[in-house]
Amino acid sequence: MVTDTAFDSHGTRCEAWSLRAGTDALTGPRGRPCVVMGHGFGATRDAGLLPFAERFAAAGADVLVFDYRGYGTSAGTPRQDVDHRRHRQDYHAAIAHARGLDGVDPERIVLWGSSYSGGHVVPVAAADGRVAAVVSQGAAMDGLAALLEIGRYAGIGQLLRLTGHALRDIAGAVAGRGPHLIPVVGPPGSLAAITAEGAETGYRSIMGPTFRNEMCARGALRIPLNRPVTAAARLRAPILVVVAAGDTIAPPAAVRAVAARAGAGAEVLELDCGHFDIYTGEMFARSAAAQVTFLERTLRVTAAA
């Protein structure tokens, strides 16, 4: 059963869903594990996350699925601001909340991420130091590589357009004006942060009713600064990395680099699919099954210890 809950992040209320474990299979002497889940670039918690959460709950873990500040039903301003630094802060706040939930073992918190959040979970887990396991799929692990990918498929002109809109947004903020917004995703040739072939269709196939196809333009300048790959060597939790081998949005080479550098070692599942295929159909089934198997094995060993 999905229930509404909330927690505080830096004085702002973050809304979330809570799922209770459907079995005692992973319950240990100190309680149940809890999987903490955040969403992708410009998205919301109703964007394809719940089917994964339900699988984890059925396997015996509690689950917390949250919206970042300024997104979905969470409070916070500016709205629709893609800022990896704030997103990571919200993950840390969600971890603290999960550790205090009734019946949850605070030493068996799992971080789960996909796309942009699939990158966030690496530096967050490395900084936390107590996270029991990490699951990352189709992840944005190197913003610099992602920016180069935008230049490859959309051209240098698109990068210049995005930069111009970002500077306009920043100037407006300094002058006290409201955010200057651009679309998160659009068709090839349009003005949007993501215009790869098929990206607009992919986004719309998984987005829920709280998604708004807009973002503060200033967020485009932060993309190359978001480089979770640099934190991989500091990771001390086991990690399952799911690679979408045909991904044209989050370069898979950077995902493989994280797996190679992970301090505690990594398991890798390669799927012959694109960025959005991993949320539905056969690819979802394969990814979700591998994730559940990884968590069952990892958390049972941890519980026994």
The pLDDT of residue 163: 96
**Confidence band for 300, pLDDT divided at 50, 70 and 90:** confident
Which stretch of 190-204, 233-247, 249-263, 290-304 has the lowest confidence by average pLDDT?
290-304
User: What pLDDT, in 10s, does the model give residues 222-242?
Assistant: 999 999 999 999 999 999 999
Alpha helices per DSSP H over the chain: 50-59, 84-99, 116-128, 143-154, 156-174, 199-206, 219-222, 252-261, 281-304
The pLDDT of residue 304: 42
- The domain segmentation of the chain, as residue ranges, is 2-143+225-304
Mean pLDDT (whole number) for 59-68: 98
**Confidence band for 305, pLDDT divided at 50, 70 and 90:** very low
pTM over 0.75: yes
Mean pLDDT of the chain: 95
Question: What CA–CA distance (Å, rounded) separates 88 from 90?
Answer: 5
SS3 216: strand
Question: What CA–CA distance (Å, rounded) separates 289 from 113?
Answer: 16
CATH 3.40.50.11540 fits 2-143+225-304, yes or no: no
Residue 289: DSSP 8-state: H
Output the six-digit token pair for 157. Answer: 């002109």
